Structure 1
Amino acid sequence: MATKNAFYAQSGGVTAVINASACGLIEAAREHKDVIGTVYAGRNGIIGALQEELIDTSHASDAAIAALRHTPAGAFGSCRYKLKGLEENKAQYERLIEVFEAHNIGYFFYNGGGDSQDTAHKVSQLGEKMGYPITCIGIPKTVDNDLPITDCCPGFGSVAKYVAVSTREAGLDVASMAETSTKVFVLEVMGRHAGWIAAAAGLASEQAGDPPHIILLPEVPLDEQRFLAQVKECVQTYGYCVVVVSEGVRNQQGQFLSDLGCVDAFGHKQLGGVAQVIAQKVKDAHGYKYHYAIADYLQRSARHIASKTDVDQAYALGRAALKLALEGRNAVMPTIVRTSDEPYRWEIGVADLGDVANIERKLPAEYIRPDGMGITEACRRYLQPLIQGEDYPPYRNGLPEYVRLEGHMAAKKLAPFPMK
């Protein structure tokens, strides 16, 4: 088998464990130098390929690559940049093939969510048509946990752990002050269309009265009067109320409560601030003193409290992606297959990219409490294993010590490409 180089890119919102997948892939590639030459990483994701800004990872020591496993965010830079359909913008896809051919790249590994898997699928198709076959392997990543087929998505388990821990700790704080101060605390978490992250907060509640008392999910349109009545009942019963709300909660008319009136690079509505909207509704209805918090980037970057299960799976999927490529597989994505809940066991599976791309998996009805404001035991059984175990990064001077790669760039061989 002739030696070919590989291209790896990180896409979309980063996570606490996306670099663990990069670590797994690059370490596995270094074990097969007879087949995989240089692993290039796109500077700022797929934009790096379009602009021919390729980071030569061979300049990074084995120790630096190993340190990626415990380093959050995107070590090579990520981006929200959606390549349109082949017919709409064929020039961009052709540019990718041109860059791959110029740098003898025969393997394309795209680490991202549904849009990214769609891009990898299209590149595999176009490579064949242009006479330059390219092996395209997706690596799953999304804190939203909304990719189909795979049992869970790397990045989600650590966010779930952070949100559950934060809910429990904040709940204790509010409870201790509720007699004379705050009665209601609202925590806003990510989740545009799928409520997996908000649902994970329910793990903090292990007995009656434990927070969160109410979980508001994108899958359930907000019944404002029923919600406000539930808040009042919680305050009267427990002295306080903790609410966890997904950013994508909608009203009965299907409108986002926190629509900011603009869209991101993928065409998604920009959301944010639903916690304040919910808190103000409570204040207006009941007069309770409130506090709210928006977890925002903190939830997805909190490597210091990452789930060991999540780290292990992210790393394993990076290695599995390389293995699939060497086996001659194309247009596929390694997945997590759950084989047992108790004890929790999992193995690596595989899915075709065409079956993954642009499909959102939402929280199933059987995971949502009948009143729509909490989770069921079935949901708890699914979620609980995903937050298990601690995998602390090394600390120095009281702070976690993360790696920053120097980013040696490969020499450009092509003319500049105009970005639209």
Structure 2
Amino acid sequence: MSTAARPRPSGRLLYAQSGGVTAVINATAAGVIEAARARGVQVYAARNGILGALREELIDTSKESKAAIAALRHTPGGAFGSCRYKLKSLEANRAEYARLIEVLRAHDIRWFLYNGGNDSADTALKISQLGKAMGYDIRCIGVPKTVDNDLAVTDCCPGFGSVAKYTAVAVREASLDVASMADTSTKVFILEVMGRHAGWIAASAGLAGEGADAPPHLILFPERTFDEDAFLAKVKATVERVGWCTVVASEGIRNAAGQFLAEAGTRDAFGHSQLGGVAPVLAALVKEKLKLKVHWALPDYLQRSARHLVSKTDAEQAYAVGKAAVEYALAGRNAVMPVIVRTADAPYRWKIEPAPLARIANHEKTLPKSFLARDGFGITAAARRYLAPLIQGEAPPPYGRDGLPRYVQLKNVAVARQLPAFTP
């Protein structure tokens, strides 16, 4: 049956963004909304993620023009807002689940698409089970998104390819700067990247160059225990041989006692340690022990918001999972996620397939041992084969006469509330 001949499904679809956003998460939103519109399904978006659903703060995306939705494909940030909030089990907090069902029922929402990472996949799985537990027909699809690339099952995760490209480019460019000044100035440059438990972003820095003398000269992975003596010896030897040294450090590196080098003593809403500051710790170590001049950088949000430097591959995959999520939902699927399946490395080929949320939720994909160099400070040829296709291609945003990217700002018209206020 052709798309045009299909009957219009009954009910509305609710889409929500979760956790830290990516440079291409709005491309997924565009995929969702455009696919739903093609089927005659109205899409509501939850303002600030799952909290918007609980608070009944919903946005009517039908009020946005076709051009505005299309412009989401090149606009960074989270168009509808996001949040870090994890639902507890049904037994531990039945009131929130009861409220969620009330909101869904009040607005005739029959499909819920939750766009996020590991914890969001867990939330999506819980919501998918609501229909049987609370007598409401709701289909829930998890939609992959994370810069950390740590989602299980999927070959890669939308959002990662662009961060990988940004990181590799930043390392190559900054290293040229360091090399030009090393004779009389900075000898060591340290770049800190995101990655609490998985070193995918740190590994992507290895794409900046090949060979012992090419930057980055050292990559510090959370999968490997930080060895201070080995680190200092490698930095010292590199400076003596090359004249300077570039180091890329994951925020999640730990010492032999299992402690984060950059533990800040705080935790986010998911219970994760709030990390940051491993670069200055390493810089102080190099200054004290090796007496070398050091510069360091912490790109932080710049890594995940750099829409001007996204990978075309990543942007296309982000849109594709949004479109597929709608197709799965309207086909009656429940508790699944559209994942990326690699079918070839060279030339790179991929497709989208459904995978059970139960295989994804609360599972974390770390770097395979085969991706780590024998000395623990670099990546292997196998890692390059995996990573290189993910940063391929450019998809720059349109630019205005002022020389700046032209991003869209949605109207985000609120849907009238039907229920009393609720505080999660």
TM-score category of the 2 structures, normalised to the smaller one: over 0.9
Residue 22 of structure 1, aligned match among 21, 24, 29: 29
Is it true that 1:219 corresponds to 2:223 in the alignment?
Answer: yes
1:109 corresponding residue in structure 2: 113
Inter-partner Cα distance in structure 2 for 1:364 and 1:98: 44
Partner residue in 2 for 1:158:
162
Residues 119-268 of structure 1 mapped to structure 2, 5 A cutoff: 119-268=123-272
Is residue 2:412 matched to residue 1:407?
yes
Q: What is the aligned partner in structure 2 of residue 310 from structure 1?
A: 314
- Report deviation, 1:304: 0.1
Query: What does residue range 284-363 of structure 1 map to in structure 2 within 5 Å?
Result: 284-363=288-367
Q: Could you tell me how far 1:417 is from its partner in structure 2? A: 0.8
- Give the equivalent residue in structure 1 for 2:54: 50
Aligned partner of 1:8 in structure 2 is: 15
Instruction: Give 2:393's aligned residue.
Output: 389
1:230 partner amino acid:
K
Which amino acid is 1:160 matched to?
A
Contact 1:124 1:133 in 2 (8 A): no
> What is the CA distance between 1:216 and its match in structure 2?
0.2
Task: Check whether the contact 1:21–1:316 (CA below 8 A) recurs between aligned residues.
Answer: yes
Deviation of residue 130 (structure 1)?
Answer: 1.4
Q: State the distance in 2 between where 1:402 and 1:209 align.
A: 40
Q: Distance in 1 between matches of 2:71 and 2:107?
A: 27
Q: Residue type matched to 2:23 in 1?
A: A
Q: How many Å separate the matches in 1 of 2:82 and 2:397?
A: 22
- Residue 247 of structure 1 deviates from its aligned partner by 0.3
Aligned residue for 2:156, secondary structure, equals coil
Measured after TM superposition, the shift of residue 205 of structure 1 is 1.1
Is 1:369 the counterpart of 2:373? The answer is yes
Q: Which amino acid aligns with 1:8?
A: Y
> Do 1:39 and 1:56's aligned partners in 2 also have CA atoms closer than 8 Å?
yes
SS at match of 1:119: helix
Alignment-mate amino acid for residue 225 of structure 1: D
Give the conservation status (yes or no) of the 8 Å contact 1:128–1:134: no
Q: Match of 1:340, SS?
A: strand
- TM superposition shift of 1:418: 2.1
CA offset at residue 86 of structure 1? 1.3
Give the deviation of 1:208 after TM superposition: 3.6
Cα deviation, 1:130-172, whole Å, max 9, x if unaligned, reads 1111010010000000000000000000000000000000000
Question: Deviation at 1:96?
Answer: 1.0
Quote the RMSD (CA, aligned, Å).
Answer: 0.8
User: Structure 1: which 5+ runs fail to align?
Assistant: none
SS of structure 1 residue aligned to 2:125: helix
Unpaired runs of 5+ residues, structure 2, are 1-6
Structure 1 runs (4+) deviating above 2 angstroms are: none
Q: Does the CA contact (< 8 Å) of 1:146 and 1:360 recur in 2?
A: yes
Which residue, 34, 39, 42 being the options, matches 1:32? 39
Q: Aligned letter for 1:281? A: L
Q: TM-score, normalised by structure 2?
A: 0.97
| Distance in 2 separating the partners of 1:252 and 1:277 | 16
- Helix, strand or coil at the partner of 1:395: coil
- State the shift of 1:207 in Å: 3.5
Alpha-carbon distance between aligned partners in 2 of 1:386 and 1:124, rounded to the nearest angstrom: 31
Q: For 1:380 and 1:218, how far apart are their aligned partners in 2?
A: 19
| Paired amino acid for 2:332 | G
- Measured after TM superposition, the shift of residue 320 of structure 1 is 0.4
Q: Residue 141 of structure 2 aligns to a residue in which SS?
A: strand
Tell me the TM-score normalized by structure 1.
Answer: 0.98
* 2:284 paired residue number: 280
Residue identity opposite 1:20 in structure 2: A
Rounded to whole Å, the distance in 1 between the matches of 2:192 and 2:365 is 21
Which residue identity does 1:31 align to in structure 2? Answer: A
**C-alpha displacement of 1:295:** 1.2
Q: Deviations over 1:244-288 (max 9, x none)?
A: 000000001110000001111111111000000011111111100
Code of the residue aligned with 2:68 in structure 1: it is: A
1:221 deviates by: 0.5
2: distance between equivalents of 1:152 and 1:235? Answer: 35
Q: How many residues align?
A: 416
Counterpart AA for 1:12 = G
Report the equivalent of 2:3. none
What amino acid maps onto 2:223 in structure 1?
Answer: E
Counterpart of 2:33 in structure 1: which amino acid?
I
Percentage of matched positions with identical amino acids: 66
Q: Retained in 2: the 8 A contact 1:138–1:331?
A: yes
Contact 1:222/1:249 (8 A) holds in 2: yes
Q: Tell me the distance in 2 between the aligned counterparts of 1:193 and 1:264.
A: 15
CA separation in 2, counterparts of 1:127 and 1:115?
20
